[in-house]
Structure 1
Amino acid sequence: MSKVIVVGGGAAGMMAAVFAAENGHHVQIYEKNDRLGRKLFITGKGRCNITNASDVEELFQAVVSNPKFLYSAFYSFTNEQVIDFFENLGVKTKVERGNRVFPVSDHSSDIIGALQRELHRLGVQISLCTEVEKICVENEKITGIIISDDS
């Protein structure tokens, strides 16, 4: 089992931690704020627009510049898989105008709560109010981190 450090407990950090833990890694999240998913609380006017239900090819057409940059991301974890992921965590979803996908409850806190429960279920260690100041690298290998004195 390898050790994985995730710097930042936002949407991407929590998702990365979940998938790393599901793959058998020991995972530690370091978040400088006092709670995970802070920005998720305000996404979609507090309702948390989690993805778009349009066909992937349609999504590429909506990308203003260099849609090829997103090919690997869109095909590695599709919008349908995002919806399934949250449904499997117990968050019912709905599709609204423009194919925008929201939790049925219209509360971003349901998305954050589902991610936090999954992190805890998987044994992910979470350090809040802890700012990573530096990532230490030796011979192209990450050897550790330095935490800010303010943390």
Structure 2
Amino acid sequence: MPSFCAVFGCSNRHDRENDRSYYRLPKVITHQGEQTKKLSQDRREKWLSNIARDDLKPSSYDNLRICSDHFIKKPADLYNQLNPDWASTVKMGHIRTFMSPSPSKSRYNRSLNRSVRKQHTAAAMSLLELRCSTPELESEDVDVGVM
């Protein structure tokens, strides 16, 4: 029976593209203590979250495979959480991360807008001070344009 990659849009199959490796969904390890059980549950949930397919049912998890195209090198060990290959992240077949700006990017944009408003307000205030301190500018109409 051929192994199919479970990532949406990936058409790799073990019988056609045999130059790739196919990795099973990590199992939950229950016989090595609570820490290992929790860590393996987190890893399994992360894999499923990254796959992001609503049509997958728990009954199909035993047959689920992900090809090596979706890893930088190969899946990392269970205890190597900081490795980017702890869960698949490459070419995951969905655009949810690209549809909306990341929180850090939107935060940065808000910060830029605030600094522009502050600079504009400061320039307007200095223009008002200049107008008030210079008698010849009092008679002229100066557009301050405060936001």
Normalising by the residue count of structure 1, what TM-score does the alignment of the two structures yield?
Answer: 0.25
Indicate the structure whose relative CO is greater, using CA pairs within 8 Å and at least 6 residues apart.
1
Q: Which has the larger radius of gyration?
A: 2
The structure in which a higher percent of residues are strand is 1
